[in-house]
């Protein structure tokens, strides 16, 4: 594969990822609204630990990289929920 063809594939994957991230952030905002209605805290460390472990295992051999991305994404999601 050439550099240009790989770049085109990366661009296509990035476009898909952005659409999925937007959907996830929309859901994070909705979750924040629901948590406020029921008086639940935004940060749930037990839930995040379970999620991170599951995704890290699923993403092997890229588990640590995916975990790092999700740690940041969850931080951003908590900010959207506040």
Q: What is the pLDDT of residue 57?
A: 98
Q: What is the pLDDT of residue 82?
A: 87
**Helical (H) or strand (E) element with 72:** helix 63-81
Task: Give the residue ranges of the chain where pLDDT is below 70.
Answer: none
pLDDT tens sequence across 34-47: 999 999 999 999 99
Q: What is the pLDDT of residue 35?
A: 96
Residues 6, 68: Cα–Cα separation, whole Å: 24
């Amino acid at each position: 594969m050439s550099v240009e063809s790989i770049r085109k594939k990366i661009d296509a994957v990035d476009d898909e990822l952005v659409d999925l991230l937007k959907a996830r952030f929309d859901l994070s905002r909705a979750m924040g609204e629901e948590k406020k209605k029921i008086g639940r805290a935004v940060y749930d460390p037990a839930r995040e630990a379970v999620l991170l472990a599951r995704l890290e295992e699923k993403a092997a051999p890229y588990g640590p990289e995916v975990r790092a991305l999700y740690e940041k994404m969850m931080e951003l999601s908590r900010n959207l929920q506040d």
